[in-house]
Amino acid sequence: MSGERSRTDRTTLLARNDLVFIDFDGTISVTDTGIAVIDALELDEAWEIEHQWRRGEIDSMECLTRQWGMVDLARGAVYRMIDSFELDEGFNELAEAAIQIGAGLVVVSDGLDFYVDRMLGRLGWETCPGEEVIKRPRRCIPRFANHGRVTDHGVEISFPHRSPDCDQCGNCKTAHLQRLRAHFSRVIYIGDGHSDLCAARFADLVFAKDALAEDFAQSGRPFVNFETLAEVNEVLLAPRTR
């Protein structure tokens, strides 16, 4: 197998009983929301924390808690900032096609639910608990994320999806993938970053950009490179569903 796949290759087309695992930050949102917040508020120390996490020196829970702990903003300012971040509107075509075809689609984020929900809301979607993906809901987007509660002095974080088998992630994407795959015949992974490196290795078809693409290229694993979700849709969706 190679990273090159033909657009007309039937085996890549999204089918009923496929499970689409899609990352949020940098994949549905154009830039990583945490990084965008750090940059917008010029939180230079938060970059050091980010690098510690990427080097594996601290887990994502410590990373997120320390970074968001630096965000001392009133509620309205947090929401205004979140509302200024750009989204990849190709997500809508993908999500609508998954519903039409009867495939599962779940958003998996090691970021925070409050901004995932708010930003997907801007695209016109409600969200629901990630576990609902096995029921193929037609009116909401199932999502797993860490919990962020917006207060008058910033954002309080908790980790409802910690996995006892993983000491790296707040919301372990690998644990979700391994548990949910029994309900589907194939797992398709779409992601961009460090929090996707582990889980994507267990998927059957991988769309990757940035750090995830570099990692897969270096280790010789097959993947389809993409920059925008429109490019993913080109490969995954037959013309009749587009």
φ, ψ for residue 40, nearest 5 deg: -60, -35
Nearer Cβ to Mg ion (38/101): 38
Tell me the site size for Mg ion, rule CB under 5 A: 5
- Per DSSP bridges, beta strands 154-158 and 140-151 are antiparallel
φ, ψ for residue 108, nearest 5 deg: -120, 120
Residue 169 binds: one of Mg ion, Zn ion, none (C-beta under 5 to 8 A by kind):
Zn ion
Nearer Cβ to Zn ion (168/233): 168
Using CA of residue 117, residue 104, residue 159, residue 41, what is the dihedral sign? Answer: negative
Residue 25 binds: one of Zn ion, Mg ion, none (C-beta under 5 to 8 A by kind):
Mg ion
Residue choice 18, 21, 22, 25 for contact with Mg ion (CB under 5 A): 25
Annotate each residue in 173-212 with x if it binds Mg ion (CB under 5 A) or - if it does not, as one string. Answer: -------------------xx-------------------
Instruction: Assess 34 for contact with Mg ion (CB under 5 A).
Output: no
Instruction: Assess 169 for contact with Zn ion (CB under 5 A).
Output: yes
If you search the block for the tokens 């409802």, which residue do you land on?
160
Question: How far is the C-alpha of 1 from the C-alpha of 221, rounded, in Å?
Answer: 9
CB of 69 to Mg ion, least distance (A): 21
Residue pair 192/210 in contact by the 8 Å Cβ criterion:
yes
